[in-house]
Amino acid sequence: MKVRLSITALWMMPLVVRANPVAIDGQSLIAFCMVAFWALVIESGIVTLALVPCGALIVPLFGTLVIANVGIFLFAFLPLSRRVSLWLLEPGVVLADALLIKLVASCGFLQGSNFVGTSWPRALVASLLGNAASYFVGLIGSQTPWIVHETGVLD
């Protein structure tokens, strides 16, 4: 019973917390970590599931994608988010993820005995689906961080 309750609580965590993945402050650090964790798990899981039909090994691929996505988030998304519009940054991240997926899938230790290779369209679609899911998890957790909510009279 405790295991089921714990799993249910963990599944509900992204719906309860509120964080902004672009502007991290002291008040939302714990909530940000929860939202970022679930966005990372969901994105890596979707990409892993997209590459399983190619013959990739599930657990090593998932772990490698988690590490790679943390790297892209910390060293590409966060530093550029203050300088580049999100309308340009998100497609750039999708392309960087697709390149990373293609590179990661070419590693021998992630390939099963029946590995057939990963095409560019598959890598791009996997990246697009994973990043879209990650974006929506962040959107749910942050209550639309990129929409400026102005108070006052309508123009």
pLDDT tens sequence across 75-120 = 888 888 888 887 888 888 899 999 999 998 888 888 888 888 889 9
pTM of the model: 0.72
Interatomic CA distance for residues 121 and 100, integer angstroms: 13
Which runs of E-coded beta strand occur in the chain? none
Q: Is 2 exposed, middle or buried (0-12, 13-18, 19+ CB in 10 A)?
A: exposed
Given this model, what pLDDT does residue 11 score?
A: 60
**What is the longest distance spanned by two Cα atoms in the chain?**
64
Residue type, 148: V
Interatomic CA distance for residues 155 and 142, integer angstroms: 26
> CB-side exposure of 49: number of CA atoms within 13 Å?
8
- The yes-or-no verdict on residue 148 having pLDDT over 90 is no
pLDDT tens sequence across 39-69 = 899 999 999 999 999 898 889 999 999 999 9
Interatomic CA distance for residues 12 and 114, integer angstroms: 37
- The yes-or-no verdict on residue 121 having pLDDT over 80 is yes
Structure token pair of residue 79: 């530093």
3-state SS class at 111: strand
- The yes-or-no verdict on residue 153 having pLDDT over 50 is no
Interatomic CA distance for residues 40 and 2, integer angstroms: 25
- The yes-or-no verdict on residue 20 having pLDDT over 90 is no
